[in-house]
Amino acid sequence: QEELEHLNQANEEINRLELQLDDARSAYRRILSESARKLNAQGSQLGNCIDRARPYYEARRLAKEAQQETQKAALRYERAVSMHNAAREMVFVAEQGVMADKNRLDPTWQEMLNHATCKVNEAEEERLRSEREHQRVTQLCQQAEAKVQNLQKSLKRLIVKSKPYFELKAQFNQILEEHKAKVTALEKLVAQAKTRYSVALRNLEEISEQIHARRLQRLLLRRASPVGAEAAPHPPLPELEGTRLGTQCPPGDTISVLSLQTIASDLQKFDSVEHLVGLSDATSLNSDELEEGERRRGGQGHFKHHRSISL
């Protein structure tokens, strides 16, 4: 039940988030189409000054990116310097420990000193590498700034004339970036909800397989149990003339024990029908009447049974 609730919750969340994602994508496409239409209209009014002033704005974009790379390189250089200083302090502590009389022959302090020395060397290499990278991006940033200044002087009149177009373009770019970030966030949420749905579904499938396995095991155990093991034992039929009947009569059978005795007695007479002369209904004879008839015929005893009985 818990996994089923998780599955339903994930399904509801997927449906809700997908609706929001569709709305966000529709809004993004609508703003993109509207911005393109308005920018085209603005460009038609201003003419070719937009294309002639475009190198200045492109240079400003590159200069901004170079400035951001310079800031990142500066942070990496500061981090490398801090790691180098910490490693040098560790080397100093290890050297002081090794120089002590009680630790002069201690291998632990020797190992600590070697480890600290390796850290100093690695930190030194990282510091030099980050320093060179910082110098490189700083130089690129300076060159980009200089190019922006030169273009601003040479294209001042065109820049002022095309300013409305690029300001409108910057506004639409900001709006589109916000909607794009919203779409990206919703896509991540949908992916997470689908992952939870898959996990809950897989857990339910495992539970279902376990239930079917237990049912199959119980069914096999029930089939493997002896037939009639739980039922009460049926009393055996009485023996007839030294022979035990091996078949049990089903409930409600019209053949009684007396009739079976009569049939067995008839079969012992070598298939002769002389004893039925003058009788209207052979099946109405009972065992007492048969014995009386035998005594009247001369007191003959019972014949030995010479054939098998199959009832």
The residues that bridge with 240 in the sheet, in sequence order, are: 243
CB environment 251-277: b (16+ within 10 A), e (fewer)? eeeeeeeeebbbbbbbbbeeeeeebee
**DSSP codes joined into one string, 239-255:** PBTTB---SPPPTT-S-
Tokens coding 164: 């409305």
What pLDDT shows up at residue 102? 66
Domain ranges of the chain: 1-220
Q: Please identify which residue in the block is written with the tokens 């201003």.
A: 46
C-alpha distances (whole Å) from 31 to each of 24, 26, 38, 186, 295 are: 11, 9, 10, 18, 123
End-to-end CA distance of the chain: 59
Phi and psi (nearest 5°) for 162?
-90, 5
CATH T-level fold of 1-220: Substrate Binding Domain Of Dnak; Chain:A; Domain 2 (1.20.1270)
Name every residue whose Cβ is closer than 8 Å to that of residue 91 and which is 6 or more positions away in sequence: 113, 116, 117, 119, 120
Q: What is the pLDDT along the chain (311 residues), one digit of tens a residue?
A: 788 888 888 899 999 999 999 999 999 999 999 999 998 998 888 888 888 999 999 999 999 999 999 999 999 999 999 998 988 888 888 888 777 766 566 778 778 888 888 988 998 999 999 999 999 999 999 999 999 999 999 989 999 999 899 999 989 999 999 999 999 999 999 999 999 889 888 888 888 888 888 888 888 888 776 555 444 444 444 443 444 444 444 444 444 444 445 444 544 444 444 444 444 444 444 444 445 545 555 444 444 444 433 33
CB 151 within 8 A of CB 62: no
What pLDDT shows up at residue 68? 92
If phi > 0 it is left, if psi is from -120 to 50 it is alpha, else beta; for residue 32 that is alpha
Give 112-116's long-range contacts (Cβ < 8 A, gap of 24+). Answer: 116/87, 116/90, 116/91
